[in-house]
Amino acid sequence: MLLGHVLLNERRRAAEIWRIRERTEHEAATLFQRLASDLEAAGAHPDLVTLARRCADDERVHAEHCRAIVDALADGLEPLAPMDARLGPADASAARRALYTSVALGCITESLSTALLIELRPHATHDVVRRGLDRILTDEVRHARLGWAHLAYEAERGDVSWLSAVVPAMLEAALDTDVLPQADASHDLRAYGVLRRADVDAICAGTVADTIAPGLARFGVRLS
């Protein structure tokens, strides 16, 4: 009985985390849709606009996968209402707001998410979780590429070093709220698609040092 109670509690805790992820995916869909509009308004390359719209569609599908996982793990967890997600200064130009969003979402958040999902995928044994992770991981790689492609595109046309002043805040926000919610040290929920906080911290630190910081530095953007 005790083991059964523990397993039920673990599934419930994992379901609650996936419910947070479901809300985050809806918010990401809104951000990518707004990015597409800003890219179009700024006269960016049409391929970037198209890719941003595809990313928005992907995020809506991710939310559906998250909901399927929530329902498979626990009963009675209704969706959380998404918040009004916005990135970048409200008074910035469409071009600058778009680049801010691309870097925050693609170069930082989605790059971190990709690294975490690669580490997590082999440990997930629940069938519905594995299917969701497979789809999300495939798409996150493309979403990260959008950020890097947009940054390269703008760097060819002008100075993007102004991002150095705002990237630390982007990174802090990603580590605090945007990266997949995780479990504390008292739970091992990897079978249900949830890493421990200590593992997340180590993976994120390595990704920042080995991928994000050097990638940004190529374009004259510094983390410190």
Architecture of domain 2-76+93-217: Up-down Bundle (1.20)
Per-residue exposure over 99-131, b if at least 16 CB sit within 10 Å of its own CB, e if not = bbbbbbbbbbbbbbbbbbbebbeebbebebbbe
The DSSP code for 209 is I
What global pTM score does this model have? 0.90
Domain residue ranges of the chain, discontinuous segments joined by +: 2-76+93-217
- In this structure, what are the phi and psi dihedrals at residue 183, rounded to the nearest 5 degrees? -95, 155
Short-list 54, 65, 53, CA closest to 24: 65
93-132 pLDDT, tens digit per residue, is 999 999 999 999 999 999 999 999 999 999 999 999 999 9
Number of residues in the chain: 224
Could you tell me the CA-to-CA distances from 51 to 38, 68, 93, 186 in Å, in that order? 13, 26, 21, 40
CA distance 39 to 77: 36
Check residue 75 and report its DSSP letter.
Answer: S
Q: What are phi and psi of 160, to 5 degrees?
A: -115, 15
pLDDT tens-place string over residues 141-195: 999 999 999 999 999 999 999 999 999 999 998 887 655 556 565 678 999 999 9
